[in-house]
Amino acid sequence: MAPTLVVLHAGDLPDGLESVEEVAVVRYATADTLADAVDGADALLLWDFFSPAVRSAWPRCDSLKWIHIAAAGVDSLMFDELVESDVVVTNSRGVFDRPIAEFVLAQILAFAKDSERSRALQHSKIWQHRETERIDGAHAMIVGTGAIGRAIASLLSAVGMSVSGVGRTAREGDRDFGTVYASDDLAVQVARVDYLVLVAPLTEQTRGLVDASVLAAMKPGARVINVGRGELLDTDALLTHLASGHLAGAALDVFETEPLPTDHPLWAAENVVITPHMSGDASGWKSRLADVFVDNAQRYFRGEQLHNVVDKRLGFVV
């Protein structure tokens, strides 16, 4: 019998699944129909990658062997029953690496070259000469040493920035970061950092990692860029340090609640750049996500080793 694949979507269907439909029975489901669709299915594609529907449908997932999520982060999917099960989880690692690295560099350049003020002055037709900052030699500390963090480190190094990493364990001689500091030592190490870049996956160990103590330990005039998950960062503490002038700015692409509520104080905060969780979504990203899945699906149907297998207890690919 042909295997059965369920595609969970929210109205936006993936393209390019023709080769999968030739060898598998493909059912398309939304969150409210997933439980019925997944009954007896072998595999599940989470095209609607932020949906919590899998947990509610879990009692009907007794035949499920493989879940692929069309995202790099898997925190929206993981729950105890899935972690304890034999279901293999894969993600879309690799799709977002370069776009997010470019996005981070763009935010750093915008801060250093005072782009927002230039635009405001232009709108007011004010000619005001100013000096700007150089980024060569500035220190960027990247919290998260996975594939996306490495792409960021490589690009920032290429423009002359000094980079270091923060991961689970400390080490020297890393090919991309040079020095990697342990996340437990973050508050000790941030005192010399110009840009603190957050890209770590959300796990119990990283939730709230950049808290009030870390922000207070940063040197005056430093900036924070978050392209990981909103829960990595203590937003209230960030607002306090921005309002006091201790921190010079923040570029935030992710938030604890998305969309960001219209009454949230971040909207009115000075020197804050807000973007709607788009740092990795460069033109063609959905096609690339579909390609990654199709490649893995073909491997699955042939009984071959899957790419991007997630360690469910750690919450990321190792």
Q: pLDDT tens, 255-290?
A: 999 999 999 999 999 999 999 999 999 999 999 999
72 and 27 housed in the same domain = yes
109 and 234 housed in the same domain = yes
- Whether residue 131 lies in the annotated active site: no
* Residues near 59 by beta carbon (within 8 Å), at least 6 away in sequence: 35
Regions of the chain short of the pLDDT cut 70:
none
Task: List the domain range (segments joined by +) for residue 68.
Answer: 4-95+283-317
244 and 109 housed in the same domain = yes
Secondary element (H or E) of residue 169: none
What angle (nearest 5°) sits at the alpha carbon of residue 108, between those of residues 107 and 110?
A: 65
- Whether residue 304 lies in the annotated active site: no
130 and 164 housed in the same domain = yes
Catalytic residue among 98, 139, 264, 277: 277
DSSP 42: S
Number of structural domains (the chain) is: 2
266 and 299 housed in the same domain = no
- Whether residue 129 lies in the annotated active site: no
Single pTM value for the model: 0.96
What are the backbone dihedrals phi and psi of residue 98, each rounded to the nearest 5 degrees, phi first? -65, -45
For residue 293, the model assigns a pLDDT of: 98
For residue 1, the model assigns a pLDDT of: 85
106 and 174 housed in the same domain = yes
pLDDT tens for each residue of 137-169? 999 999 999 999 999 999 999 999 999 999 999
Catalytic residue among 93, 150, 229, 241: 229
106 and 14 housed in the same domain = no
Instruction: List the one residue out of 195, 87, 84 whose CA is nearest residue 133.
Output: 195
The tokens for 45 are 């594609």
Catalytic residue among 81, 84, 258, 304: 258
